[in-house]
Amino acid sequence: MRIHGELDSCIGWSAATLLTGKGLSVAHQEAVLEERAVSIVINGQTYAVMMVTPEHLDDFFMGFLWSEAIIHGPEEIIAWERMTENGAWAIYLQLTAAAAERAQHKRRHVLGGSACGLCGTPLLAGLIPFAPLESSFCCNPASIRTLMVQMQERQALNHSTGTAHAAILGYQRDYLVREDIGRHNAVDKSIGAAIQHGLRPGEVNVLGISSRLSFEIVLKAIGFGILVIAAISGVSSLAIKLAESHGVTLIGFARNDRMTLYAHPERI
């Protein structure tokens, strides 16, 4: 399923002018991260149009459909194909009848920006389709610090452009890292990658993100049974409330040998 040359397709070059501290003006070429509108078409009907970085698109739609509670397993995806025509990108998916029916009730009505997790969702009443998590899992602060360091070291796109968000999953003494211009997309890609690696809910314990931590990201983590979320930046009020009610440990400002625990600190 991996598309050859994806990394190169994610970085473009733009003419830019650098102004130095000494007042000098220098013309040069600057690396920029690609952002594309990608239509997700389910059984012939457009479900959503998302702004994403065109890398690991198979991981993206797998994680996105899981986080949307449309698929309950990869076996519900019968076939898929990526197509590009005149600069337009689309992912065509054939889902089982049950999964297609779930999509029909959740179909989005507006374009989802790279910073948007729930844009266009028609029914706000059913935003939390996942049950609270219950587990005796615990981890130590050193393992959280290691996770965040691993995430930063593996951000190839961000090292080149300074623009990409990242999400890292810790599991079985290993890590999965995915990047995207959108932080929600990076989380979806990491969950999709986990699914394609044969992992299932409850087998991934920790999620790290290179951004602020909001309600939507906590929701995605709950959907995959992730018990601990650490963010390099702060957290939102709704993220804390959702984490408290659904048994998720929430960590903010996990950098420079410090971290702030906002919900369920007993796991750390």
Catalytic residues: 116
Kindly give the pairing relationship between strand 174-180 and strand 165-171. antiparallel
Longest CA–CA span in the chain (Å) reads 64
- The two structure tokens encoding residue 55: 């890398």
The distance from CA 76 to its chain's CA centroid, rounded to whole angstroms, is: 21
The distance from CA 70 to its chain's CA centroid, rounded to whole angstroms, is: 16
- Gap between the Cα atoms of 133 and 118, Å rounded: 22
- Gap between the Cα atoms of 51 and 57, Å rounded: 12
- Gap between the Cα atoms of 172 and 188, Å rounded: 20
Known binding site: residues?
A: 253-258
